[in-house]
Amino acid sequence: MKKISFLVALCTSALVWGQKTYIQCGGIYDPATQKTSSQSTVIVEGTKILSIASGWQNGGASDQLVDLKTATLMPGWIDLHVHIESEIHPETYLNKFLYNKEDVAFESVAFAQKTLQAGFTSVRDLGGSGVNIALRKAIARGSVDGPRIWTAGKSIASTGGHADPTNGVRADLMGDPGPAQGVINSVDEARKAVRQRYKEGADVIKITATGGVMSMAKNGHNPQFTVEEIKAIVETAADYGMLTAAHAHGDEGMRRAVIAGIKTIEHGSFMSEATMELMKKHDAYLVPTLSAAQHVMNNAKIPGYYPPMVTAKALEVGPITSATFAKAYQKGVNIAFGTDSGVSHHGDNAREFVYMEQSGMPFKAALKAATTTNAALLGMEDQLGRVAPGFLADLIALSQHPDRGAEAALGVVFVMKDGRIYKQSTP
């Protein structure tokens, strides 16, 4: 009897394992070519796309059928700049002293779920407390729902710099953080900080090359590393196969970062035309994060929303970021897609498409940035960013065709990651 029960269980398991998903869609949009196929069926097996058939195919009796006949299917989006652990609000600066890591972790789960539901199946997290590494692992093993994460763990700063974790606290709590806490002041310390991030499980290295807006430090422009320090960071990161990114608002800091070999410049608010040309020469990418600039500018107009020091910087940076991005795009600077969600709201990531379109980048060009461009920057161009056989089954569907413009990005009706459906609503 036990033998029969075992065989039944084994056969049942095999049926589930062998089940395919047939996704019938109105068309498949390819961001690389900006073309849309006619009525198609994408056949998914396990975590990957098995094949694509013309017309609407039904599969077998044991297969799963998804009806997206009035929707447009495309690759899942990739956000190259989020802070998945947190979301800034008026109590943020107080919560720094009230929250334990467990509090941060529980909140991060909700932020991850919102991000995935918005159509972003992969993200690059650019700095937190280390909870981001644990969240990446939890999502990868299926404990919680969320996007695939590449994370920097803790950002690297200089003493008093934008990512110094003791910035703005009272003197008896400041201490003297070093490379283990992501604070460096020499070439040797720079190398040690990178190695520490690797030891902790980070995937990418993020530095704060200039002052920032949200930190409790007066200057949001000033460069905060020497070229030699940044070179040491880039070289050490390369030894470990890690991509590098630099938060940068001020022009001199981003100039040093580009010269030293940083691959992506985040924000780029006060970038000069000379630095734009330098970025083209070094094949660097701008991640404009227009959502964050818009969000902080709007909130800074609300009395008491931010501390006065932050409010002044937010009102300065907000209006110029869009204009700088527009000029950089017109001049041919490489553009990657990133929102800085966590400064703006998680789940609103797709609004970045709207802001990019309003600043002069066509929606379809922005879609390419959020798929094939970002996949290549992550070294995943053979697995992500396309709807093609052999690629990971990270798929989303829009109720409106991309021809309708960036507002279409706000109508995500279907989300699949690794072959599993996380969202499906009527188109």
For residue 386, CA distances in Å to 73, 75, 395 come to 11, 5, 9
Q: What is the mean pLDDT of the chain?
A: 92
For the chain, give the percent of residues with pLDDT over 70. 95
Mean pLDDT of 335-361: 97
CA 351 to chain centre: 14
Residue-wise pLDDT tens digits, 185-241? 999 999 999 999 999 999 999 999 998 887 777 777 899 999 999 999 999 999 999
Write phi, then psi, for 93 (nearest 5 degrees).
Answer: -70, -30
DSSP E strands in 357-425: the ranges are 395-398, 412-417, 420-424
Q: Are 222 and 211 in contact (CB under 8 A)?
A: yes
Rounded (10°) CA dihedral 346, 347, 353, 355: -50
Residue-wise pLDDT tens digits, 18-43? 799 999 999 999 999 999 999 999 99
Residue-wise pLDDT tens digits, 110-123? 999 999 999 999 99
Bridge partners for 151 per DSSP? 125
Tell me the two tokens of residue 167: 């910035």
Residue-wise pLDDT tens digits, 43-90? 999 999 999 999 999 989 999 999 999 999 999 999 999 999 999 888
Bridge partners for 417 per DSSP? 420
Confidence band for 7, pLDDT divided at 50, 70 and 90:
very low
Write phi, then psi, for 98 (nearest 5 degrees).
Answer: -105, -30
Closest C-alpha to 221, from 313, 286, 294: 313
Residues in the chain: 427
Element (H, E) at 22: strand 20-30
Residue-wise pLDDT tens digits, 305-326? 888 888 888 888 888 999 999 9
Residue 5 has pLDDT above 80, yes or no: no
Q: What is the CATH number of domain 77-377?
A: 3.20.20.140
The one-character DSSP state at 78 is E
User: What residue spans define the domains of the chain?
Assistant: 2-75+386-424, 77-377
Confidence band for 15, pLDDT divided at 50, 70 and 90:
very low
Confidence band for 16, pLDDT divided at 50, 70 and 90:
low
Bridge partners for 40 per DSSP? 25, 54
For residue 192, CA distances in Å to 125, 135, 197, 224 come to 21, 24, 9, 18
Tell me the two tokens of residue 417: 């990651």
Residue 126 has pLDDT above 80, yes or no: yes
Count of Cβ atoms closer than 10 Å to residue 325 Cβ: 27
| Residue 184 CB contacts under 8 Å (≥ 6 apart), including other chains | 156, 157, 158, 178, 190, 192, 193, 229
- Residue 305 is predicted with a pLDDT of 87
CATH architecture of the domain with range 2-75+386-424: Roll (2.30)
- Residue 140 is predicted with a pLDDT of 97
- Residue 17 is predicted with a pLDDT of 59
Q: In what order do the strands lie in the sheet with 243-248?
A: 204-208, 243-248, 264-267, 285-287, 334-335
Range of weakest confidence among 87-96, 280-289, 386-395: 87-96
